[in-house]
Amino acid sequence: MNSRRTLRTARAFTLVEVMVASVVLVFGIVTAITTMQRGLQAVDTSRNLALATQLMQTEMERLRLKSWTQLTELQASGQTAVALDGSAGAAAARFACTRAITDAKSDMKEITLVTQWNGYDGRPHTARLITRYGKNGLSDYISTAH
């Protein structure tokens, strides 16, 4: 029995086994890093979309205080750049917003705000807020993003 124990030796890993294990480990690390980057991109996009929506809502509230005549004057200027609310701080500087006002009906104007920014990954993103404003007041909000 004692001779059997001495015959058993500790078996080491072969070179092929070590190479396969290292390849599996590298794929695991790359997958984890890629997943983490996508998660950070999603968080960044969500934060930017929330801030863009907040900035557009603030501008829409400012437009809501305008009279029908004032809206008609703004409409005559065509698509124009909008100065965004400065209270949002330095983060708002990354956003560019444009406004267009068109006639949806004779007694209704459609106000479209489009905000653009570059995300964490450098890709351009756009959020759009469309409002219909009747002579009797604000009608509805439609918001899209991509």
Contact 102, 130 (CB under 8 A): no
Lowest mean per-residue pLDDT among 47-61, 103-117, 125-139: 125-139
Q: Which of 71, 88, 89 is nearest to 80 (CA)?
A: 71
Domain ranges of the chain: 13-145
The kind and range of the H/E element at 82 are strand 80-82
> What pTM does this model have?
0.68
- 72-76, 103-107, 125-129: least confidently modelled range: 103-107
Q: Which residue has the higher pLDDT, 95 or 85?
A: 95
Q: To the nearest whole percent, how much of the chain has pLDDT over 90?
A: 18
- Answer whether 98's CB lies under 8 Å from 117's CB: no
The stretch 58-68 carries a mean pLDDT of 85
Band (62; pLDDT cuts 50, 70, 90): confident
